[in-house]
């Protein structure tokens, strides 16, 4: 087999890669640091133009690397998004087209497994959110914390599955503070818009712990092998509980108002806006402002801790030999259009931060020093083929994502006309969508409601143009693309070239594409 013009067993520059009993020197093969967070909007970066949130370390990483301005989570909730990242497949390919806990992860190929088998020492610190808990997924070293997940805190679970047993951070916190200490000590709910500063010492916050454990891995790693480290933060996913000093940064700031449009359902927000985790947001203006400040505080806190992690790479003298990726699993509506949380097809929920920084000593892209921005539509599934490509490891069969190395080098821009996104949930929220660098078409599967947004002119999706006669041809084109994507799916959404409303949505497909 040949790939990128090199014989099988050789990387892009001909450097020999791991083949059973042989291993390249660390100088020939890049280390990989994947920094992932949970529920961070794509626009919540200073370098992306956000007027309020401060992210100096991430801005620096992006300014010296490549910022993908149109990066998305094709199925914007924790489990399906992470399944796509780990497998390099679409939601239809993984079978995860909605959120459901307790379903076994059974995949032939996963990112860490491929890197481990290719000679890398693999480690994960922080959130995995896989099932069963502590499933290795190819990671040799694991220090886990998934946040507060109700499914794994039930009294009747098998003992070994309970978070008090399977979660390393929970054990750490109880060792520090006593058996009754818990991550929800501030009283804020883990999916709500309630905000309150962290009640324990700052050093005990899970954001700090993730970096402490990551630095410890870097210090004690196997130096005969390159490393793949995934540092995975739970924040800025609720609870909005950054340390007090970070709340203080935003306490008196006049924050930009959430996006409002001509299609907003203000009646739903008025009806449900006193329910702390309602998708229809919050009807109390002061509580909304507190939540936004708390969300931004969590982001800046994480950003500063990422600064510690990057400094550790510099002290380790591996910074320039490392590929660093920063991304989120999905976004957060944060009251745009009166909405809260994720799963919805709008930019706040689906668009994510996506930064790739290639160290100056990394082969293949070192000469071009991949810097700047990319307007191509990219997705979490693209990370697996990109990282394997950079590391000189063959991409396994069945991967649906695309390598972004051509984007990084400028040699071959990504040829993707559109991205298909979806999320199955309930009668109100189940949705399908098509997004391009310029526009977006949305179809709600249970109601038949359609929407169309011109993202070039209206990036905050304030004007729904679905009824504009001047857009009818373009809307029909995108609708046809969705029809093609859904052909043959078990739900029956697409029949005889038409979208079919009201078919029962599946959260986990019985027959994933390609299975």
Catalytic residue among 37, 78, 298, 327: 78
298 has catalytic annotation? no
Q: Which residues pair with 355 in a beta bridge?
A: 67, 326
78 has catalytic annotation? yes
Catalytic residue among 37, 75, 109, 129: 129
Check: CB of residue 147 under 8 Å from CB of residue 206. Answer: yes
Neighbours of 244 (CB within 10 A): 13
Q: How many CA atoms lie within 13 A of 355 on its CB side?
A: 25
342-379 in b/e form (b: 16+ CB < 10 A) is bbbbbbbbbbbbbbbbbbeebbbbbeebbeeebebbbb
- Distance CA(264)–CA(268), nearest Å, equals 9
- Distance CA(321)–CA(25), nearest Å, equals 12
Q: What is the 3-state secondary structure (H, E, C) of 311-352?
A: HHHHHCCCHHHEEEEEEECCCCCCCHHHCCCCCCCCHHHHEC
- Distance CA(417)–CA(441), nearest Å, equals 13
- Beta strands of 363-407 (E only): which ranges? 372-379
What single-letter DSSP state applies at residue 105? -
DSSP 405-456: HHHHHSSS----S-EEEEEB-STTT-EEEEE-SSEEEEEETTT--EEEEETT
Query: Is the alpha carbon torsion for 81, 86, 88, 93 positive or negative?
Result: negative
Active site residues: 78, 129
């Amino acid at each position: 087999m040949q790939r990128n013009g090199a014989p099988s067993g050789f990387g892009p520059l001909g450097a020999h890669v791991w083949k059973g009993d042989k291993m390249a020197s660390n100088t020939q093969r890049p280390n990989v640091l994947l920094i992932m967070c949970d529920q961070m909007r794509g626009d919540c970066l200073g370098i992306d133009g956000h007027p309020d949130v401060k992210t100096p370390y991430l801005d620096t990483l992006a300014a010296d690397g490549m910022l993908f301005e149109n990066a998305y989570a094709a199925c914007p909730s924790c489990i399906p998004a992470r399944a796509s990242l780990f497998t390099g497949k679409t939601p239809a390919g993984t079978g995860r087209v909605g959120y459901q806990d307790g379903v076994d992860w059974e995949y032939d190929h996963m990112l860490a497994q491929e890197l481990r088998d290719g000679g890398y020492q693999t480690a994960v610190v922080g959130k995995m959110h896989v099932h069963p808990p502590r499933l290795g997924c190819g990671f040799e070293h694991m220090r886990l914390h998934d946040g507060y997940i109700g499914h794994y805190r039930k009294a009747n679970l098998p003992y070994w599955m309970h978070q008090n047993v399977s979660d390393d951070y929970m054990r750490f916190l109880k060792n520090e503070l006593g058996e009754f200490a818990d991550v929800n000590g501030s009283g804020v709910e883990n999916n709500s818009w309630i905000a309150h500063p962290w009640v324990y010492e700052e050093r005990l916050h899970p954001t700090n712990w993730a970096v402490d454990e990551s630095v410890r891995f870097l210090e004690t790693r196997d130096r005969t092998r390159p490393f793949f480290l995934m540092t995975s933060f739970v924040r800025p996913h609720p609870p909005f509980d950054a340390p007090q000093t970070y709340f203080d940064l935003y306490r008196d700031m006049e924050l930009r108002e959430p996006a409002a449009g001509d299609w907003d359902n203000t009646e739903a927000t008025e009806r449900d806006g006193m329910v702390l985790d309602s998708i229809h947001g919050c009807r109390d203006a002061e509580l909304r402002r507190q939540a936004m400040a708390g969300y931004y505080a969590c982001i800046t806190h994480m950003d500063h801790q990422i600064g510690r992690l990057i400094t550790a790479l510099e002290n380790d003298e591996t910074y320039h030999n490392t590929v660093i990726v920063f991304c989120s699993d999905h976004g957060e509506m944060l009251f745009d259009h009166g909405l809260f949380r994720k799963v919805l097809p709008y930019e706040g929920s689906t668009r994510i931060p996506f930064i790739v920084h290639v160290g100056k000593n990394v082969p293949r892209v070192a000469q071009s020093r991949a810097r700047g921005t990319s307007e191509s539509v990219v997705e979490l599934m693209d990370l697996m083929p990109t990282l394997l490509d950079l590391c000189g490891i063959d991409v396994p069969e069945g991967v649906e994502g695309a390598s972004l190395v051509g984007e990084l080098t400028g040699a071959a821009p990504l040829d993707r006309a559109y991205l298909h996104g979806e999320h199955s949930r309930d009668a109100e929220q189940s949705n399908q969508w098509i997004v391009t660098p310029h526009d977006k078409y949305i179809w709600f599967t249970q109601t038949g409601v359609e929407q169309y947004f011109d993202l070039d002119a209206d990036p905050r999706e304030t004007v729904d143009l679905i009824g504009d006669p001047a857009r009818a041809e373009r809307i029909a084109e995108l609708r046809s693309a969705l029809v093609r994507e859904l052909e043959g799916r078990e739900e029956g959404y697409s029949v005889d070239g038409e979208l079919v409303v009201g078919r029962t949505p599946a959260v986990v497909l019985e027959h994933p594409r390609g299975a």
